[in-house]
Amino acid sequence: MSNISPVRHRSVPITDSISTIPGGYPNKLIIFQLPASPFWWVRYYSNRKIVKKSTKTTKKNEAIEFAKKFYEDTLLRERNLLPISQSPSFEKFASLLIDEQEQLISRGERSKKLNVNDEQILKKDMLPFFRGFDVRGVTHQHINKYLAKVSERDLKGATLKTHLNLIRKILNLAEREGSIDRLPKFPTIKIKDGNRTWFTDADYKLLKQTVSDAIKKKINVRGHLITDEMRLLITFMVNTFLRPSDIKNLRNRNIEIIEGENTYLRISPEESKTINTPIVSMEDAVGIYRDLVALHTKTKKPKGLEDFVFLPEIKNRDFALQTLRRQFEELLGRAKLKRTPSGEVRTLYSLRHTSIMFRLTKGDHIDLLTLARNARTSVDMIEKFYAWVFHGIWTSSPFETGHSVHGKLINRSVATLGSFPFTLD
């Protein structure tokens, strides 16, 4: 006779750990431990159905108290004719996540874009794939299959990582609520870092000439004429570090003209992709903004404090931004600037990249920390995606200690290259 004990499954209770609950509770209510989990579990047999749940504690006395409450909650659900347990579905926790994030948004702790982006991914891709899944059954293999499915659309690595992070948030919530013990292992997505697309001095000059020609020729893009507003948008973005998403919702009340020892715009967007702090513009931005207000006065467009800075007559701001993008793409095509010499695609976002690159290439003794803060990014991002332009130009980096003015950035106007210093509070 063999003395070898049969191998027990990791989800089968450890026999010596099975314990009833003292104090007159039924024998059908027990706590136990599993080889697969560090926590005590509670189990109850109700209406010919086994209900079990992790107590989320390794201490037996705490597990006993948890079991008592679990038993009382189960009886209450029985009396109210409610289901004894609810299926911990992926869809359920996705909905709970959106609800929780909505509370954070309402308190101003998160950007409104958070739920907009997550709900779009859920509706288009994630729920159609994971609908009907129990969160306890989501494995590394399922996540890999999902990524393979959405990758059929040639999504970039950064976009795939956004999808992966949303799955992680949903399963983290399920773990927090006790529906799963631990997260599955997640696939690793490698993101190929690319240099930011920008316009050189010659490119920028050509772009401004192209928009002037388009205005004279009265070029129409999907029912909207290219006007001086597009010319002013281009120069405004290059002089302010703003992102296209900032432009979309920028109102006149977000802009303050500062004139003194230094002249600049202090721009305070209501929300941002990253940290939301005021931006100090280049000096030329003041004249550009005044020209824009004068243009709106001449064309009888709204120009009050609550009105939008660009295309204020279009109330649908997503459509307003799309209109600006389409016109800009038309200009890129006419100027043959759609791609950089190395083949990367330029977009409206390239104007922000140009703003940062001009500061790097035209500034004197640049303090990267000040530049990064003003552009609402990080020094790491500046060095990673922008400072590559200096590779091979200097034998030593202009950003090393001793080459920068700490706490101060010598800022230069794009048009005149006249320098003036400013500090950020």
User: Would you kindly state where each structural domain of the chain is located, as residue ranges?
Assistant: 15-79, 90-176, 201-422
Give me the residues paired with residue 280 across strands: 266
What mean pLDDT comes out for the span 76-87? 67
What mean pLDDT comes out for the span 305-319? 95
Distances (CA, A) of 151 to 6, 160, 161, 344: 44, 8, 11, 20
pLDDT at 38 exceeding the cut of 90:
no
Cβ-based neighbour number of residue 296 at 10 Å: 19
What mean pLDDT comes out for the span 73-101? 80
Predicted pLDDT at 365: 63
Q: How far is CA 304 from the centre of its chain?
A: 31
What mean pLDDT comes out for the span 260-266? 92
Predicted pLDDT at 86: 60
- Do 239 and 288 touch, CB atoms closer than 8 A? yes
pLDDT at 140 exceeding the cut of 80:
yes
Task: Judge if 90-176 and 201-422 fold alike in CATH terms.
Answer: no
Q: How far apart are CA 146 and CA 186, in angstroms?
A: 12
Reported CATH class of domain 90-176: mainly alpha
Q: How far apart are CA 346 and CA 6, in angstroms?
A: 65
Which has the higher per-residue pLDDT, 338 or 391? Answer: 338
Average pLDDT of the chain to the nearest whole number: 83
Ramachandran assignment for 222, one of left (phi > 0), alpha (psi -120 to 50 degrees), beta (any other):
left
Of the candidate ranges 26-30, 38-42, 117-121, 134-138, the one whose mean pLDDT is the lowest:
134-138
Report the CATH number of the 201-422 domain: 1.10.443
- 48: tokens are 């010919």
Place 107 in a pLDDT band, splitting at 50, 70 and 90.
confident
Which has the higher per-residue pLDDT, 418 or 231? Answer: 231
What mean pLDDT comes out for the span 261-290? 86
pLDDT at 421 exceeding the cut of 50:
no
Of the candidate ranges 199-203, 237-241, 275-279, 317-321, the one whose mean pLDDT is the lowest:
275-279
Place 171 in a pLDDT band, splitting at 50, 70 and 90.
very high
pTM summary value? 0.59
Of the candidate ranges 109-123, 242-256, 403-417, the one whose mean pLDDT is the lowest:
403-417
Phi, psi of 153 (to 5 degrees): -90, 15
pLDDT at 167 exceeding the cut of 70:
yes
Provide the pairing of β-strand 409-412 with 419-422. Answer: antiparallel
pLDDT at 414 exceeding the cut of 50:
no
Q: How far apart are CA 146 and CA 332, in angstroms?
A: 36
Of the candidate ranges 220-224, 253-257, 397-401, the one whose mean pLDDT is the lowest:
397-401
pLDDT at 408 exceeding the cut of 50:
no
